[in-house]
Amino acid sequence: MWVRFAALQIARVLLITLIAGLLGAALVRFSPGFDVDERDLDTRLSSASHAADAEARAGERNLLSFYGQWLLCALHGDYGNSRAMNRPVGELIRERLPLTARTMAVGGAIGLLAGFLGAAAAVWKRSRLMENILGPGNGLLLAAPPAVVALLFLWLNIDPALAIAAAVSPYVFRYAHNLLRESASSAHVVTARARGLGEGRIFLAHVFVPALPQLAALGGIVASVAFGAAIPVEVICDRPGIGQLAWQAAVARDMPVLVAITMLVTALILVVNAAAEIALAGVSTEAA
Amino acid sequence: MTAALQRAAAGILILLALAAVGSLWFPVSASAQSRNAIDAAPSMRYPLGTDELGRDRLARVLCGLRLSFLLAPAAACLSTALAALIGGIAGWYGGAIERIAMAAADLFVSLPWLFLLITVRAVLPLNVSPLVSIGVTFLLLGMLGWAAPARVARARVRAIAGSDYFLQARAAGTGGVRLFLRHLLPNLGPILAAQFWICVPVYIISEANLGLLGLGVADPLVSLGGMVRELSSESSLMTRPWILAPAGVLVMATACVHFARLKKEEV
């Protein structure tokens, strides 16, 4: 049963990633200037050369065949050439991925920890004061655009990864707080409290552990929010990562780069989500 | 505390909205330049100083606020309507239609919002007139933000379609249109209203992010995002702290929308 569920999840990830690629390819195909080549403007070429170029590009006009060709090349590690940077897209991504991965990992981990600890403290202590401080504080963080936070951190010489943490933590806090509070108000927790168990033990054994599988779903939220925040953070702090590359590609309308990043990001987030769901299903099967 | 916070947030929002509307009769235009007051510090005449072109920052903040308060809800309306349509059809018909609609929603939700926005924005012309750039920016926000509300709408439609009163209405021979108009739509209203209010602050922030990245509303039209862009040319926070005012107003307006819609148990 669990294996079937895992296989279905993997198939779903593959299918949605392929659809994301198809949508990306559709954007490339229908973007303005798709059918224009700078060789068309070269007056040294004869009309026969121009006609040969046009014929060579004609095959790309059909969206499905264009996507099929692109996918075939992508499977061989060739994601095409960046129009703006005149370099292979794969090379650009390989060069910039480590920096973004590091920033996202550090920022995501700090944001996850801060959001979770805040939510745990609010639920564990059951203090009105703490809820009244953490709740509005979280609301203010949610209202601050990551680009503005990145600017402030740049002025204050604070590591840009913390700007990503500031973007991630309010989402984690809200999700974890709702989940832990729901878990804390369940009947078995009320019974445990009535039997005189200590608050620490109640929180760890009866609130946190039962909510743990659902907390795994935070992985997808963290990955998505962290990458979304990485774009303005890398642009503003001038860090040569994937976020900055995505922005440069958007400004220069460099669609091959955008398609490759779309597929990469979709696959990353779907894999994290699927891993959480498979783990959740595994725990449920074991419990049953 | 929650009630007090909600009241305060609603009060500030009303004041900001009044100021934004009142600025239509403001004596200084947002685009009027004063060549004698370039980059001026705050004064009685210019309470928030002027920018590098000698334009009154307060007039521009109020103008940007008006744009955000007008167009973010309009974009949220579009998203909510699309969500009701797609989520409603998916929940109503079920089967393959539901699976396809939810796969599309999964795809939209799994992609980081800002990345999705800049990718689609890249396909559209960047060198357009300012008015078109406003339309493009907020239309994009409205058209791309349907996925998360659609999932909620679909779940609600499924719940309503499986409820006792709905089954009874069907058993009594109520037709499809009447079922939809009398029993489904009124019960979907509160959920859609909540989704609308969730979208509004998200769109204000997204416009600000796009503006700061140079992909939002184009000059000379004013938006809060475009004004926040002014900050990126500053090297220090201490030399001219008053230029932070647009960012402060942006965060305050967004936070107030967020707090004003909170339920008691949600803070």
pTM for the whole structure: 0.80
Which positions 214-253 of B are in contact with A (Cβ < 8 Å)?
214-215, 228, 231-232, 234-237, 247, 250-252
Sign of the four-CA dihedral A176, A177, A178, A183: positive
CATH assignment at residue B18: 1.10.3720.10
Short-list A236, A159, A247, A244, CA closest to B229:
A236
* Tens of pLDDT, residues A182-203: 888 888 888 888 888 887 888 8
Q: What is the pLDDT of residue B264?
A: 46
Sign of the four-CA dihedral A135, A136, A142, A148: negative
* Tens of pLDDT, residues B77-127: 999 999 999 998 888 888 888 888 888 888 788 777 778 778 777 776 666
* Tens of pLDDT, residues A24-36: 767 666 666 566 6
Strands (E), A66-114: none
Q: What domain range is B53 assigned to?
A: 2-266
* Tens of pLDDT, residues A80-114: 777 777 788 888 888 999 999 999 999 999 999 99
- The token duo for B178 is 């009447």
Q: Answer whether the bond into residue A146 is a cis peptide, omega within 30°.
A: no
Q: What is the pLDDT of residue A47?
A: 78
* Tens of pLDDT, residues B181-235: 888 888 888 889 888 988 888 888 888 888 888 777 777 778 888 888 777 776 6
Q: Which value, to the nearest 10 degrees, does the dihedral of the CA atoms of residues B67, B73, B74, B75 take? A: 100
**8 Å CB contact of A262 and B231:** no
Q: What is the pLDDT of residue A99?
A: 92
Residue B121: list chain A partners with CB under 8 A.
Answer: 250
Number of domains in chain B: 1
Short-list B168, B261, B252, B264, CA closest to B208:
B252
Q: Which ipTM value was assigned to this complex?
A: 0.77
Q: Which residues contact B265 (CB under 8 A, 6 or more apart)?
A: none
> Do B50 and B40 meet the contact criterion of CB atoms below 8 Å apart?
yes
SS3 B33: strand
Q: What is the pLDDT of residue B126?
A: 63
Distance from CA of A24 to the nearest CA of B (A): 9
3-state SS track over B56-118: EHHHHHHHHHHHHHHHHHHHHHHHHHHHHHHHHHHHHHCHHHHHHHHHHHHHHHHCCHHHHHH
> Do B257 and B200 meet the contact criterion of CB atoms below 8 Å apart?
yes
- Cα nearest neighbour of B127 on chain A: A251
* Tens of pLDDT, residues A160-169: 889 999 999 9
Using a pLDDT cut of 90, give the percent of chain B over it: 6
Using a pLDDT cut of 70, give the percent of chain A over it: 88
